Structure 1
Amino acid sequence: MAAPDASAALAEREKVQQFLNAAYTGNLDFLKKVAKQLDDGKGLTKTVESIKDANKRGALHFAAREGRIEVCKYLLEELKLDVDTKDEAGDTPLVHAARQGHTEMAKYLLEHGANPNIPSELGATALHHAAGTGNIELLKELLSRGVPVDSQSDSGTSLIWAAGHDQKDAVRVLLEHHADPNAETEDNITPLLSAVAAGSIACLELLVKAGAKANIFAGGATPLHIAADLGDLELIKCLLKAGADPNVKDEEGQRPIDVAAARSNRKIVEILFPLTSKPESASDWTVEAILASMDSESRKEPEQQSNKAEAISKKDIPEVSPEDKAKSAEAKERGQEAFFRKDLQTAIDAYTQAIDFDPTDHTLFSNRSLCWLRLGQAEQALADAKSCRELKPDWPKGCYREGAALRLLQRFEEAANAFYEGVMLNPESKELVDAFREAVDAGRKFHGTDKANS
């Protein structure tokens, strides 16, 4: 009896996949045919509602994602499915349509009762996606329906999304609808900071004109630090005109002029030089002296870091083409989406693809290490953490990833050492300091020395 039952289950799974594929490709006749075959007497509507993939996406999600309006008409107008049904990530069909830029599909869903204010698990609505993709027609449609222009997501407001994706027209429309140019995320990221990070002078100018503050501090730096690091002269000029303070220090104690000097960017050093106050410790305060000093500092690295750097010679680091970098970025995005859905295995697969395209990106190994850690696969997590640190020896998060994997392996002394190395790189990180102390305490208890002599 077992074999026939297994065969029947396999056949049903194949039909479910055929049904969802039909929604995806827009094959309405075949979709109807398979739906009837799957109906077990509960009624066609309930049967179709119950058909989901591993991420709880149904036919309506797939049809909306691919802009298959005829399939959506059948599902909504004939079967009366819930237009706001959510998948595992909390995305509605409207969010799927907006993310893919299917304007007509999004309008159809809105006309048939879709609620544009429903956010995903990460707080993103159709408005955020329309802003991020620069879909002005959909953006205006959503705003005309009263969608709050400053609704927050984990990645900020729609204005932050637009600025961070260099969507100047979307920024203009949102500002015309009174979007807050100084809205912040929990990490103090603002639209202006996002525009600078994206290298978007057009968005920056619009935001400055709207009253965006230039002297914000987030992620350990100001917009002027970021512009100096990017080496973008136009961004620097725009920020200075907006009143950015060149004397503010970042979390490493550097001012924008120091950042520019470390990148050997003479032009930016020359612009910042007359606006930057001379430090009391500086005996020779000239452009040449600043460039020479930072060049000298950049050559000094802790022994432990230089040893790791030596382990990866330039000939071992492959050249990555722009095409492969783009493919890697796309795979990375899929990995992040899967991670937030808690679909860790899919995330690992996506990050692996991204690494295949660009093995020089340390963040990919860090992200995959975290996924392995969440699955309890400590050895794999440790291997990826070590790869991350080899590529980026001075990155504190790499130390944290290695320490976390070692802690899971109950190698507490090694974990404490990894966390301590991270603390040395970033003494202000409470996460690293706490992890170091916890690893030391755990090691003492593990070895029965928690009552050691004081």
Structure 2
Amino acid sequence: MSSDASSALAVREKVKKFLDAAQKGKLELFKKLAMQLDEGKGLARTVADVKDANNRTALHFAARDGRTEVCKYLLEELRLDADVRDDDGETPLIHASRQGHFHTVNYLLEHGADPSASSELGATSLHHAAGLGDIELLKLLLSKGVNVESESDAGTPLIWAAGHGQQDSVKVLLEHKANPNAETEDGITPLLSAVAAGSLSCLQLLIEAGASPNVQAGGATPLHVAADAGSKDIINCLLNAGGDPNAFDEDNLKPIQVAAARGNRVAVQILFPVTTPVPNFSNWSVDGIINFMESQANKEQEITKKNDDPKGPTSANSEIVEAAPEAKQKALEAKSRGDDAFRRKAYLEAIDAYTQAIDLDPNEANLLSNRSLCWIRLGQAEHALADAKVCRSLKPNWPKACYREGAALRLLQRFDEAANAFYEGVQLDPENKELVDAFREAVEAGRKFHGTDEPKQGN
């Protein structure tokens, strides 16, 4: 190795230790490393210029882990910019808020941080506090005049709170006049988010506040979403609030048909008395509807199975031979619709399209991976984890499947399991920076979550 290469490597290592010291609250070590990195520009300029690959500064790292003393040194002694942004447009305040560090957030606000600063995707500290269900932090930010209707790519803080099943956050935001019928560009509302999250308590609060039970996103109404999940209490709540059991989705299906296709018998029984019979059903009964929808699903799966059989279908299956290319094409078309909806951030619409594709081609890991990511974007970690696990079972040596599982576990704050999933992905693809970084962050988050950070032992 040349002397120049050795020198560059030494600097990179020193930068890493510098940022780690900020993150772990080792203030004296941080100051020492800052002095070593200074090449005559002045300490403040040097510290401000040192960043990681994502343009995160020492202040970002300190704020993210609640190292208020480090933040104090950076803002009061070095007088750095409290609202410096990383590649995602996030300020230190947003980093601190996402982790629920109340005292650090309060300090940053008192020393010039903009409470309304938003990321490139529009998410503010208020969004993160709402999603966390951190009421103390939520009220602090609201007291600073943050707009309760701040728009992000995934909606207002109320939509975030409902989507994470945070009943107390929903209550506080509604008390501050948050709009219960706010919509994203894709038609997602707080009520739809609450239904997708399976949160009856949030749903009831929103209905009491005047939220409409008949909104549509991607063609699906809240009743379609609830019927798909099979939630008895949520279906009854929506019906009592005036939810329309005869509304059609984009596939021309009523909620009862969606429930039947998923085998959700209890949901079918609840919806049956209030649903107008659908033409072409020879047996309009609970059993008749379930049997018909299941037979349709089985027929599509059989078509796909025959199409994927390496030996090819026999001549006795000539009718299926004709249908097989059409089924495969339908799966590809559904995936294409899902991809398009995802690009437009219409995540519920994307989920619906990917689900159709999965029904046609249940062994395609990419579809499960895509749907898992959509659930993550909606904050539905349990659904995301379920899809990720199936994805890994189908394609166990695929690094992306490991990443999907880790991301869902991280959202569930199961940091040790998340770190294991990420690590398994790193073993499959050691050069994958996204997996490596995710593994390290999960390990650090786990230490903090379990109270084993070094600074908590006396630093």
Q: TM-score, normalised by structure 1?
A: 0.69
Aligned equivalent of 1:294: 293
After TM superposition, give the deviation of residue 101 of structure 1 in Å: 0.9
Q: 2:349 matched to which residue of 1?
A: none
Structure 2 equivalent of residue 396 of structure 1 = none
Q: Residues 95-117 of structure 1: CA distance to partner in whole angstroms, max 9, x if unpaired?
A: 00000111111011001110011
Residue aligning to 2:143: 144
Equivalent residues of 2:281, 2:289 under 8 A apart: no
1:353 corresponds to: 402
Q: 2 CA distance for matches of 1:167 and 1:358? A: 20
Partner of 1:423: none
Matches of 1:128 and 1:93 in 2, distance apart?
A: 15
Residue equivalent to 2:125: 126
Q: CA deviation at 1:42?
A: 1.1
**8 Å contact from structure 2 (residues 162, 202) kept in 1:** yes
Structure 2 residue aligned with 1:157: 156
Greater relative contact order: 1 or 2 (C-alpha under 8 angstroms, separation 6 or more)?
A: 2
Q: Which amino acid aligns with 1:210?
A: A
How far off its partner does 1:40 sit? 1.1
For 1:60 and 1:280, locate their aligned partners in 2 and report how far apart those are by CA, in whole Å: 63
AA aligned to 2:94 is V
User: RMSD of the alignment, in Å?
Assistant: 2.8
Q: Where in structure 2 are the equivalents of 1:245-284 lying within 5 Å?
A: 245-284=244-283
* Cα separation, partners in 2 of 1:236 and 1:309, compared to 1, 3 Å: farther
Instruction: Report the Cα distance in structure 1 between the residues aligned to 2:238 and 2:223, rounded to whole angstroms.
Output: 7
Q: 1:252 to 1:94 in 2, by over 3 A?
A: same
Is the contact made by 1:83 and 1:109 (CA closer than 8 Å) also made in structure 2? yes
CA contact (8 A) 1:329 1:354 kept: no
Deviations 1:369-422 (A, max 9, x none): xxxxxxxxxxxxxxxxxxxxxxxxxxxxxxxxxxxxxxxxxxxxxxxxxxxxxx
- Counterpart of 1:241 in structure 2 is 240
Cα distance change, pair 155–241 in 1 and its aligned pair in 2 (3 A): same
Cα distance between partner residues in 2 of 1:179 and 1:292: 44
> Any stretches of 5+ residues in structure 2 without a counterpart?
311-357, 366-371, 385-397, 409-459
Q: Is the 8 A contact 1:66 1:97 kept in 2?
A: yes
> Where do 5+ consecutive residues of structure 1 fail to align?
319-324, 337-348, 360-454
CA distance in 2, matches of 1:285, 1:244: 21
Q: Which residue of 2 aligns with 1:187?
A: 186
Q: Write out per-residue CA displacement over residues 190-213 of structure 1, whole angstroms, 9 at most, x where no aligned residue.
A: 000000000000000000000000
C-alpha deviation, 1:37, in angstroms: 0.9
* Structure 1 residue 155: Cα displacement: 0.5
Give 1:358 shift. 10
User: How far apart are the structure 2 equivalents of 1:268 and 1:11?
Assistant: 63
CA distance in 2, matches of 1:309, 1:356: 27
Cα displacement string for residues 53-103 of structure 1 (whole angstroms, at most 9, x for unaligned residues): 000001000000000011111000000000000001001000000001111
Query: Which residue of 2 is the match for residue 210 of structure 1?
Result: 209
What's the CA shift for 1:219?
2.2
Describe the superposition over 1:142-190 as per-residue Cα deviations: whole angstroms up to 9, x where unpaired. Answer: 1111100011000100000000000000000000000000001111000
Which secondary structure does the structure 2 equivalent of 1:259 belong to? helix
- What's 2:220 paired with? 221
Is contact 1:117-1:147 (8 Å) kept? yes
* Corresponding residue SS for 2:2: helix
User: Any conservation in 1 of the 2:230–2:266 contact (CA below 8 Å)?
Assistant: no
1:303-330 C-alpha deviation (Å, 9 max, x unpaired): 6523467789xxx999xxxxxx9xx979
The 3 A distance-change label for structure 1 pair 238 and 24 is: same
Instruction: Evaluate the alpha carbon distance shift between residue 173 and residue 294 of structure 1 in structure 2; reply closer, same or farther with a 3 A threshold.
Output: same
Alignment length (residue pairs): 332
Normalising by structure 2, we get a TM-score of 0.68
